[in-house]
A and B are shown apart, each in its own frame.
Chain A
């Protein structure tokens, strides 16, 4: 368990540095699509929600299903609206 947590922390730290490097270069024109696109990615919590929702235990299933519902709105809505916005960005 302890070794696993160290490994997860290691991944966390590296991902934060990677995120900072990636986002610093985004021009301000794209800040809104960046936020809604990033927002859709944060719906990754759906992965955890699916496991809870399908667990078969009553209380866990209720909480998990609610989580699946909200995370799915976030994922589907987030990606679609980002795509809708980006399709409007045109150059002459």
Chain B
């Protein structure tokens, strides 16, 4: 590096950072269409490589040993995780990666804090935000991971005085902020930093704990946004443009997805975060009476109806992922098409545990993405559809959302399968769905229940077609 003067290095580094920012922007833009998405991801990763490489020529780096240790060990774990993960487990994977982004930003902020002897209000404010957002993202994501991986129960955990505890915590975090940024006289700086880390992590836990498993798509999208904002705040700490641009892009993308998820459930973000959905639901559903008899059907009879159908709509939900039924479903879809039926897949925005979860599973099973449709596309033509097959979905096809004002999901846009000629519901048992609500769809005149494991049921339908 001695050949280059300081100015030249700085110019080189900053030009490369601009190029990296452009690659991130173009990459994200190309992620907007299935045809270009893969190339977009490649461009974005090239931007990252460029940003990392030019950072490594920075003259303030004295020792490369530990950098290599971090890069190699992290790289190996990242590689293994990315290549081994099952597509059904993508929500857990994204959740925990969000958390890693958060803790990395927290550590960067902390490292700058302990490495900066001079008191600087603006810098301390940026460090405060980085550590706070990073800490919340970290523990919030770990908890979301634990809920999604079913290490802990998905039910919202509510307790008496929750609001008071949360308000007190926020007050303490604000007080630590005043101490850290303006006063610096109550504790020494390490103590202040440790207290802030602890409080931020506690806030992350308390923030996710009252949110039920069915609301996880919203939470993951929000934590995704936070991981970007933490990186953005870290950009202010080290006054680096590329962190600010990249972090802001991720922050904006996460917020938009959060908003889309909330709209798909007809709920406000405040409602999702603070209402403790599941418990309210329980008391509401206890009051409802049984709505009649369900009509079970066996696969042999179901086959006869499917064989005569000229249009079939498949509505997958999280149950399909749990049963790993996507490959069998695709095979059934192909047999139906060969039999002359038009087959489409209707995917609700909040089906599954994260935005777009069902689409990825069906793509994995080789279902072409142009036969995937959204509720708004199929609802107007629902009367013309001969058979709707609801596979492991429940709340997103619950007619109470349009008919029953007392239902907790009233107003949520649904896939109106009850308007089709025949509905097959593939279901393990009559237990309520993830949100814990009764579903009058099962008792409708045109509904037939196919009880059992979704994969086995679909496979035996496939066997009927082949045999």
Instruction: Report A's interface with B, CB cutoff 8 A.
Output: 1-2, 4-5, 8, 11-12, 15-16, 18-20, 22-57, 59-61, 63-92
Contacts and interface: CB of A to CB of B under 8 A. Distances in A.
A85 to B, nearest CB: 5
B393 interface: no
A32 to B, nearest CB: 4
A19 B107 contact: no
Nearest to B26: A22
Contact of A39 (B67, B250, B356, B357): B250
A79 B98 CA distance: 13
Given A30-B37, A36-B94, A73-B78, A42 B107 contact: no
A22 B228 CA distance: 15
A31 B109 CA distance: 30
B356 A33 contact: yes
Contacts of B143: none
Interface of B: 24-25, 27-29, 31-35, 37-38, 40-42, 44-45, 48, 51-52, 55-56, 58, 60-64, 66-67, 69-71, 73-75, 77-79, 81-83, 85, 87, 90, 93-94, 97-98, 100-101, 103-105, 107-108, 110-112, 114-115, 120, 122, 220-221, 224, 227-228, 230-232, 234-257, 260, 347, 349, 354-357, 359-360, 363-364, 366, 368-372, 374
Given A26-B31, A47-B52, A34 B257 contact: yes
Contacts of A55: 60-62, 111, 115
Given A38-B249, A39-B250, A77-B97, A65 B66 contact: yes
B107 A49 contact: yes
A24 B28 CA distance: 11
A46 B83 CA distance: 21
B61 A40 contact: no
B256 A91 contact: no
Contact of B228 (A36, A42, A49, A50): A42
Given A22-B32, A47-B51, A50-B58, 17 more contacts: A11-B241, A15-B244, A18-B25, A19-B249, A23-B28, A29-B356, A44-B24, A48-B112, A54-B63, A55-B62, A67-B111, A69-B73, A70-B101, A72-B74, A76-B74, A84-B82, A90-B363
B231 A37 contact: no
Nearest to B352: A32
Contacts of B354: 31-32, 35
A47 B194 CA distance: 23
Given A35-B257, A78-B97, A12 B372 contact: no
Question: Which of B33, B112, B242, B252 has the most chain A CB within a 10 Å cutoff?
Answer: B252
Q: Give the residue among A44, A49, A90 with the most B Cβ atoms within 10 A.
A: A44
Contacts of A15: 244-245, 248-249, 252
Given A42-B250, A48-B240, A85 B363 contact: yes
B355 A90 contact: no
A85 B87 CA distance: 8
A67 B222 CA distance: 22
Given A45-B234, A86-B38, A8 B244 contact: yes
A47 B243 contact: yes
B70 A74 contact: no
